[in-house]
Structure 1
Amino acid sequence: MTRPSLLSMLFSTLFAWRPGRSAPSVPAPGPAPGPAPGQKPPAADFVGHPAGARTMIAWGARVPDGFKRKVIEIAERLGMEPDHLMAIMAFETGRSFDPSIVNRAGSGATGLIQFMPATALDLGTTTAALARMSAIDQLDYVETYLAPYRGRIGDIQSAYMAVLYPRAIGKPSGHVLFRKGSRAYKLNRGLDRNGDGRITKQEAAARVVALLEEGMRPGNIG
């Protein structure tokens, strides 16, 4: 008679079972370790991750690490996506993120989100002073400007409306911002994508959306 091999005996011992007999139970994993005594759990950021967990953002590879980290922190405090804020600044600065860049249409707008002269004064500064700041320092004024819209700029259209035309926050995409014949239309006529003499909210945000997509590509995201 052929004797069973040692391997087959071991295998049958480990896996044999009889009806009415349950298989050996596997201990369920215990709960994840909590914070150490006296230590608060990390706060959740705008997408539900632990604060500071976000490291890759649109256009992040094109700016210094300190600038990127500050954008993430600002976006968290404002309840908006850092990708959206980066796309807006990429659009307003022609992808340069230059704090001294000036609007070519002659409005006098300057900097990362193209602060108008009157807006700069409302913030306690001037466009000339803003232009002398580093990009990281100017981000403080970006946050101060956007702070009144906290909690209302979670989508990219609303985020951009806060910069371009705050009265359109919460309006439908087809809402008309500017009409031909107005100074505002003249300064922004490049946004009239179909050339019908009207600039809608969707049209105005379209280029920012395109720069968001561009910013997420390899070589730009980081």
Structure 2
Amino acid sequence: MARLSLFTSLFSSLLSWLPGKTTAAPGRSFPARVPEPLAPEILRSASRAGPEIAWGAKVTDGFKWKAIEIAKRLRMEPDHLMAIMAFETGRTFDPATVNRAGSGATGLIQFMPATARGLATTTAALEAMSAIDQLDYVEKYLEPYRGRIGDIQNAYMAVLYPRAIGKPSGHVLFRKGSRAYKLNRGLDRNGDGRITKQEAAARVTALLEEGMRPGNIG
């Protein structure tokens, strides 16, 4: 009996040092340690890993998910929306981007001053917004074209020249001599003095492909 008592005492002492265990009276089980819950930020990150989209690695998680949700409501591809914003901001996604040609356009999709007023805001106010907040105005601007911008050319026409939505690829948007051509002359790929719908969308299409490459997609 002395040997059994000594063994029981040593066994109880050993259990008291095991991680995840607690001592208990003879005949009772020793419950395993309950794992600590994951931190909220880890849970949010895991639950929002989601699909990869063009240029998703270059923006915040919040921006990416809001762009996906907006694209879904507008019935357009989120990759296309991201490619357009990458083009209009020089790949920066900076809401304060200002047009270098002097048009006064500002922001993620280069809102013109008159366009901003039509959305009940100003380019100055847009410039001061965060990128995530400015996305609300991107959606508000694109809403009238919902369901008509499912391909990359028409999606970009909604931003550049809405009258060309639904037109064929060879449709001429701007001709040399006009102010619109002067502001967009970099889009005249063959230098013939005309900018077609296909030419205008070519650089956005190229940025779509670039945005799908490793390091940009995410």
TM class, shorter-chain normalised? 0.7 to 0.9
1:102 counterpart SS class: coil
In the comparison of the two structures, how many residue pairs are matched? Answer: 171
Of the three residues 163, 169, 172, the one matched with 1:167 is 163
1:178 counterpart SS class: strand
Following superposition, the deviation at residue 54 of structure 1 comes to 5.1
Seen in structure 2, the aligned counterparts of structure 1 residues 155 and 54 have a Cα distance that, compared at 3 Å, is farther
Of the three residues 126, 147, 152, the one matched with 1:151 is 147
Q: Is the 8 A contact 1:58 1:86 kept in 2?
A: yes
Following superposition, the deviation at residue 55 of structure 1 comes to 1.8
Of the three residues 111, 116, 126, the one matched with 2:122 is 126
1:136 counterpart SS class: helix
Give the corresponding residue for 1:135. Answer: 131
Q: Deviations over 1:186-218 (max 9, x none)?
A: 000000000000000000000000000000000
Give the corresponding residue for 1:65. Answer: 61
**1:212 and 1:65 mapped to 2: Cα distance?**
19
Of the three residues 88, 101, 110, the one matched with 1:92 is 88
Which protein is bigger by CA-based radius of gyration? 2
**1:92 and 1:136 mapped to 2: Cα distance?**
16
Mapping of 1:103-118 within 5 angstroms? 103-118=99-114
Q: Is the 8 A contact 1:78 1:147 kept in 2?
A: yes
* TM norm structure 1: 0.76
Unmatched 5+ residue regions in structure 1? Answer: 1-51
Seen in structure 2, the aligned counterparts of structure 1 residues 53 and 148 have a Cα distance that, compared at 3 Å, is farther
* TM norm structure 2: 0.77
**2:175 and 2:58 mapped to 1: Cα distance?**
35
Give runs of ≥4 in structure 1 deviating > 6 Å. none
Question: What's the % identity of the aligned pairs?
Answer: 87
Unmatched 5+ residue regions in structure 2? Answer: 1-47
Give the corresponding residue for 2:18. Answer: none
Please provide the CA RMSD for this pair: 1.0
Q: Deviations over 1:26-82 (max 9, x none)?
A: xxxxxxxxxxxxxxxxxxxxxxxxxx8952000000000000000000000000000
